[in-house]
Homo-oligomer: A and B are copies of this chain.
Amino acid sequence: MKARNKLTLIIMFISGSLVAQRPPAISSPNINPDKSITFKYYSKNAKRVSLSGEFLKSPISMKSDTSGIWSVTVPPMTPDIYPYSFYVDSVQIADPNNSYIFANERFKRSIVDIPNDKPLIHSLQNVPHGKVTYQYYNSKSLNITRQLLVYTPPNFDASGKTKYPVLYLIHGGSDTEETWTKVGHANFIADNLIGQGKAKPMIIVMPYGNVRPAPMLDFTKDIVNDIIPFIESNYPILNDSKNRAVAGFSVGGGQTLNIGFTNTDKFGYICSYAPFTATEEFKKNFDNWNPNADLINKQVKLFTISVGTDDFLYESVKKNIAMFEEKKIKIKPLIVSGGHTWMNCKIFLTNSLQEIFK
């Protein structure tokens, strides 16, 4: 007990200067041998602590032991990457003992990654790995220097001798440019599919899409006038539309439709995941849209809209699909179970990566 206290004290000291109220080191979440999962939280003062997670229908209560450690164990669940958080009295927080955080601008949630016996397509496997590079570009459209992320595939040839197709991949509203890798594991999905020969080696560009005031118009300008030229002058890129794809989730799915269908000469593949389209901008672009379907169907080799049947946007997305069908635009819908989640995003991306650049 004394040694333990001493250790805790040392950890408290070495972790920074605001240490007075630091809780003891506890491990959370823990995946138990029987695959159940235990979540823990330390508080001597809290009156009620509960667990909220995308694997639960509604929050469940946690119980405190005499030392102030609250815990709850949930039965084994389908292996996947799930967001969760704690409610401590009135406050929703990320798990303070879990450094794996959901990259988002509007909420703080933690992530639990439940592995499968046979590794899942989004897990770190024993295959050659690509890299994810954080870099800065100057957007003249937005008058700002900002960060984007670039995935280069395993054994990437930087010499310029090999040229690669490129996917522009956009996060959801309130997500960040890191969400597709940190929550969506886009890099591992690509590594694994490329390693299995199921996807072509490609470059994946993940920009920051929360652009104001006009997320569709202004971000389309940023992508077309700034990001694409920046990428094509800095990476060995196949720069025709047959080798250029755009995909995105939620608000990013709406942006994908706007970017793609205002630039069908530039994007041979348009993959929209659970698009959010209830915006003035979308209405303006698509309500009285009179497309040249024959031309578009020649230019766009694949147009897909993916959604889960429990997604709160399901009815809206069905209307989007019907609208494109009514305009005679060829579309390949992917309807799966599940909600407006990053679990589904991984399924959608896994599907797209095997269908583009073929």
Contact = CB atoms under 8 A, between A and B. Distances in A.
Interface in A72-116: 83, 85, 87-94, 96-97, 99, 101, 103-109
Interface majority SS (helix, strand, loop, mixed), chain A = loop
Interface string A307-341: 00000100000000000000000000000000111
A159 interface: yes
A172 B14 contact: yes
Interface string A34-54: 000000000111100000101
A25 B106 CA distance: 8
A132 interface: yes
A276 interface: yes
Oligomeric state, in copies: 2
A129 B136 contact: yes
Nearest to A187: B134
Contacts of A192: none
Give the contact-size bracket for chain A. 35 or more
A106 B97 contact: yes
Nearest to A14: B173
Interface stretch (A16-24, A193-201, A219-227): A16-24
The 4 A-B residue pairs whose C-beta atoms are closest, nearest first, are A45-B90, A99-B105, A14-B173, A131-B135
